[in-house]
Amino acid sequence: MTKEDDQVLSGSDHPVAGAACLPEHVAIIMDGNGRWANMRGLPLLAGHRAGAEAVQRTVTVAIKRGVKWLTLYAFSSENWRRTPGEVADLTGLLRFYLRHKVAELSREGVRLRIIGDLTRFPPDIQEEARRAEQVTMGNDRLVLVLALSYGGRADIVQAAARMAQAVARGDIAADEIDESLFASALLTAGMPDPDLVVRTSGESRLSNFLLWQSAYAELVFLDTPWPDFDEAHFDTVLEIYSRRERRFGARPA
């Protein structure tokens, strides 16, 4: 973060960015559930449950602030390497929220979209996820994208494979492939690229999240663990974003 960003974070108030500089798409790497639980002497599951509550708060404030797309890194492709007990806890929470919270999201005008390799989840979770996408399809107040068993490198590889197959079939010529066509083969096809990527809990890396899509995103890293992320933190990152000059590779005027 820049010195200016540090000043915003250390301020006593949390001003909200104006509509003119509001990011259309905010993506969040939700890190720190385990640290949050450890600091309180609680089991890891308590941290994940508190993190799920932070998700609900974040969706609410995103709607209030007028953000149109919110992507949450809910379960990375690397998370499968965690202990069987933690994976079971995470998938159990996912199952609960898909079964019991989707109707509430729909009433708020939220459309749910899921990206990632759902085939690695149990069949009932796959079914619940597709059902949730279907029942919320007509909503347009906020698109909530859950990245589940998602990896940025795998996303790029599968897109490259799709392009190669299209060339082999004769559907396109190799020299017709440009950035726009390639992006249409990514799991995020039809989505705007994230304007702002936020990571909580003190780490300063993307961890294989939306690697292609984040090429020109503004990055903000917070020390706050994800379960403590609230409306004030959301407003802080919006304010930080509003102070950034987005150049997309061009020189300043």
pLDDT higher than 70, residue 248: no
**pLDDT > 90? residue 247:** no
31 is annotated as an active-site residue: yes
Cα 212 to Cα 200: distance, rounded to the nearest angstrom: 21
CA angle 224, 226, 228 (to 5 degrees): 65
12 is in an annotated binding site: no
For position 78, what pLDDT does the model report?
92
- E strand or H helix that includes residue 156: helix 152-169
Q: What pLDDT does residue 10 have?
A: 45
- The residues near 187 (Cβ < 8 Å, ≥ 6 apart) are 115, 116, 150, 155, 158, 159
What domains sit in the chain, N to C, each tagged with a CATH number? 3-10+22-243 (3.40.1180.10)
184-242: per-residue pLDDT in tens? 999 999 999 999 999 999 999 999 999 999 999 999 999 999 999 999 999 999 999 99
pLDDT digits (tens, 9 = 90+) for 119-170: 999 999 999 999 999 999 999 999 999 999 999 999 999 999 999 999 999 9
Annotation-wise, does 184 bind a ligand?
no
Vertex 219 angle, CA 155 and 80, to 5°: 40
Establish whether 230 is a catalytic residue: no
| pLDDT attached to residue 156 | 98
Q: Which amino acid, 41?
A: G
Grouping H, G, I as helix, E, B as strand and the rest as coil, residue 14 is: coil
| Residue tagged active-site, from 5, 6, 13, 31 | 31
Percent of the chain residues topping a pLDDT of 70? 89
Q: Tell me the two tokens of residue 76.
A: 């990375």
Active-site choice (5, 6, 79, 171): 79
Which of these, 33, 8, 35, lies nearest to 238 by C-alpha position?
A: 8
Q: Is 34 annotated as a binding residue?
A: yes
| 21 confidence band (pLDDT: 50, 70, 90) | confident
Q: What is the pLDDT of residue 13?
A: 47
Quick one: average pLDDT of 12-31?
76
Q: What is the pLDDT of residue 249?
A: 63
For 43, 50, 194, 196, 249, the CA distances from 210, given in Å and listed in that order, are 30, 25, 9, 12, 19
Question: Do residues 225 and 30 lie in contact, with contact meaning Cβ atoms separated by under 8 Å?
Answer: no
Name which of 196, 167, 194 is nearest 181 in CA terms.
167
Residues contacting residue 81 through CB under 8 Å, at least 6 positions apart: none
What is the token pair recorded at 239?
Answer: 């304010």
**Average pLDDT of 72-95?**
94
Of residues 25 and 245, more confidence is placed in: 25
Q: Does residue 113 register a pLDDT over 70?
A: yes
Is 239 annotated as a binding-site member? no
SS3 3: helix
201 among annotated binding-site residues:
no
131 is in an annotated binding site: no
The reported pLDDT for the residue numbered 246 is 76
For residues 137 and 71, what is the distance between their CA atoms, to the nearest angstrom?
Answer: 16
What is the DSSP secondary-structure string of 42-109? --HHHHHHHHHHHHHHHHHHHHHHT--EEEEEEEEGGGGGS-HHHHHHHHHHHHHHHHHTHHHHHHTT
